[in-house]
Structure 1
């Protein structure tokens, strides 16, 4: 499947910040500890891809809150990923520079499956983590993933600032990143995975018109569907379909509860 965008322009997380702050916590903005001059200045001139991130986050958080147990933690995982062009020496220098600017310190260098990799990670609040994975593809390019994760979105007081800075700093390193985001929590419906997913779809359909299921997967413990959504700017080409969203419900074998996951444009974490 190939990632595409209907919009144009460069990526930013400023819209993400506005969206989550308005939906969840006034303290999200106040507890960020202040944005750096680099991040705030660059954000003024960077435009979201078709405004898709703001719109997508609003949908994701709304659907997640409606389809999960009230008061239960909402795990959010946001990934920025893209390619870097440069030889081995340039890549090593760029990886070290990006890790430092993200506040991750000196990255660990290793050889994995014949590829040179750099890894670094750090916490940015009691429930948040940011990590960088940099892997050589060939002699002239690398693939980079910066992941921001919080175990409980309602307590992630510094998530906004860290997320915005990550997008800005990847661009400053010469990487044009694309985003994907997943939200996960305890499903409010504790029947079969299929029943819980139907409830999730109803919650999403109340906020978005034109949603149409185009692909599905089911086994004994999991039920998943992907959807085309004409109003969403970000999508993945899968066969003849433009997939803009995916939902999944997985039955937890340890406590027999349902876990719901919603991803835009796809789920990129474990169900």
Structure 2
């Protein structure tokens, strides 16, 4: 991936962390619906899924120092039936981390970061990843994640990404699938309005808004809650297809 793509990802992550994240109903169950929706949209691509990442994060209660942060983490982990974690320092910030393997091979993790010694703010991140799954499982994974989040008593920001590939190289060296046509088909199924796009010699990324997803972020003074991308793998020529809401947060 070139430096420009990394810049797009970094800016997108900043947008998730710091933009006002709107919601229609404000219910934590919206994330389950949204996860199921992007799985359905992804199914239109006919790509074989290889990775799903579900991510929920939010600023949380204050913790005065390392010991308070560790106690907060252990209490949250216990409520979610996760093992006792460990404390680490990452870029000068204390972080509590724990993880476990779920039935079926998915990996679940909890991280609580101490953001500032000045006001003792913390930031909680729940994450589920799976690389051996069917699209029909995405909704169930989101439901399981929500059960943990509800134990913490807050409504976090939700992000979901799915990635896979299409092996469409023909014997004569041409490709069967055109990335632009494929991504447009995925978006048109949900009447998504294109907000912006980026394209180079090997990749195409489209950001859009659909009213079917309740939450959105702002970009260039427009609503955005869906992103699709496709690029050619230079190793085997397969088409890697990625979808995310409200943005893609995995490498593409």
TM range (shorter): 0.7 to 0.9
The alpha carbon displacement at 1:225 in A equals: 0.9
Change (3 A) 1:103 1:92: same
Tell me the equivalent position of 1:170: 149
TM-score (norm 1): 0.73
Aligned residue pairs, count: 226
Give the ranges of 4+ consecutive aligned residues of structure 1 lying more than 6 Å apart after TM superposition.
155-159
Alignment of 1:152-167 (within 5 A): 152-154=132-134, 160=140, 163-167=142-146
Q: Write the distance in 2 (CA, Å) between the matches of 1:77 and 1:67.
A: 18
The alpha carbon displacement at 1:8 in A equals: 3.2
Q: SS where residue 60 of structure 1 aligns?
A: helix
Change (3 A) 1:219 1:100: farther
Q: Which runs of 5+ in 2 are unaligned?
A: 1-14
Change (3 A) 1:81 1:229: same
TM-score (norm 2): 0.78
Tell me the equivalent position of 1:10: 27
Q: SS where residue 153 of structure 1 aligns?
A: coil
Tell me the equivalent position of 2:5: none
| 1:110 is the counterpart of 2:127 | no
Q: Which runs of 5+ in 1 are unaligned?
A: 13-47
Contact 2:32 2:139 in 1 (8 A): no
Change (3 A) 1:260 1:128: same
Superposition CA RMSD, Å: 2.7
Contact 1:229 1:245 in 2 (8 A): yes
Q: Write the distance in 1 (CA, Å) between the matches of 2:161 and 2:196.
A: 18
Contact 2:74 2:85 in 1 (8 A): yes
Which of residues 180, 184, 205 in structure 1 aligns to 2:163? Answer: 184
